Amino acid sequence: METSIQIEVRPTEIDVMGHVNNAKYLEYMEWSREDWYNKANLPFDTFTEMNIGTVTVHIAINYRKEARLGEKLTISTKPLRKGRTSYVLEHVITNEQGERVADAEVVSCTIDLTARKSVPIPETLARQFEG
């Protein structure tokens, strides 16, 4: 399942170069990831009830085009692949012209919240990666 959110670039997200600060793109992706979990019926509470947490362990991001104040951006999220304890979500940020502003692959791992060690991906999450 692919989901997307839309945002408008705010003044607090602009750096001295007059465009969106690189760290803000990670926030945009985090907001979209949270939306993806919710639309997949996997809100934070569901994981907590299973005593499972999701931890971001690696992000590979490409900055393709600058975004500026007031621009409307779409951030899309979709599952790419999964392993035994980790999985990859892809984020793509586009502007109103449909141009790719940034993209990233985010690797997350599922952990036992008590032991703080990795555990196999729960079936409810694993199903999101099926055809």
User: What is the C-alpha separation between 12 and 21, in angstroms, rounded?
Assistant: 9
- Quick one: CA torsion of 59, 5, 84, 48, rounded to 10 degrees? 110
Cβ contacts of 96-102, under 8 Å, gap ≥ 24:
96/71, 96/72, 99/64, 99/65, 100/64, 100/65, 101/25, 101/63, 101/64, 101/65, 101/66, 101/67, 101/73, 102/25, 102/61, 102/62, 102/63, 102/64, 102/65
pLDDT per position as a tens digit, 17-75: 999 999 999 999 999 999 999 999 999 999 999 999 999 999 999 999 999 999 999 99
For the chain, what is the domain count?
Answer: 1
Task: Return the residue matching tokens 């639309």.
Answer: 39
What's the average model confidence in pLDDT over 73-82? Answer: 98
CATH at 53 = 3.10.129.10
| Residues 131 and 115 sit within 8 Å (Cβ to Cβ) | no
- Round to the nearest angstrom and report the end-to-end CA distance of the chain: 9
What are the structure tokens assigned to 18, written together? 């007059």
pLDDT per position as a tens digit, 84-129: 999 999 999 999 999 999 999 999 999 999 999 999 999 999 999 9
Catalytic residue, chosen from 15, 35, 45, 103, is 15
Our answer to whether residue 112 is catalytic in this structure is no
pLDDT at position 131 over 90: no
Range of the domain at 79: 3-129
